Amino acid sequence: MALMTGKNCSDTLKMHENSPEHTKNMGSWKELESRIKKGQTIDKVELALINTERRRWREVLTRFVAIIHSLAERNVPLRGSTETLYQPNNGNFLKEVELMAQFDPVLKEHIARVQGGASPTSYLGNIIQNELIDCIIAAEGTAQIKEYFMGFLEAEQTTGEGLSTLIFKKLKENKQ
């Protein structure tokens, strides 16, 4: 291993500074430095796109939570017999989404993306509805929603009073 003297070191540095590789790398570094100062880096553009998409999803989900909350407050069921937008019997949740999309640009754009195939994720199905209900319950610390199949009951009276009496009788029997 040879020792570098002051002259050798100086000559080596000059040779390196004048090399095409060093010149190219310095140019790239100066360009990056300039773009960082102007806020024009690729990372910044990508980050802006990510933040825009994050805001869009937050706005969509905020509306879905509001719909679920509204239906739950009125004790209205969410789902129907189909989970497809603009279909008969698709349930109250999807009907509310359709209604809001007529007036709300966020939901209008979301539905357009879903129907156009631009967004493979719709967050319109029963799984996300259940997850949002769980989040609402966890955030508010209030009642839990539970569904049970109690069986088939034979109703002798189909009035509201007759049906509620039959249901309460079955509930009392099941608690034993």
Structural domain boundaries in the chain: 42-140, 146-176
For residue 63 the two structure tokens come to 């509306």
Q: Which pLDDT does position 144 carry in this prediction?
A: 59
pTM of the complete model:
0.59
Mean pLDDT (10-residue bins), the chain, 176 residues: 58 80 85 77 77 91 93 88 91 95 96 87 87 81 64 82 84 74
Torsional sign, CA 15, 18, 20, 25: positive
Identity of the amino acid at 137: I
Give the alpha-carbon dihedral of 55, 56, 61, 67, to 10 degrees. 120
Total number of residues shown for the chain: 176
The rounded distance, in Å, linking the Cα atoms of 68 and 110 is 17
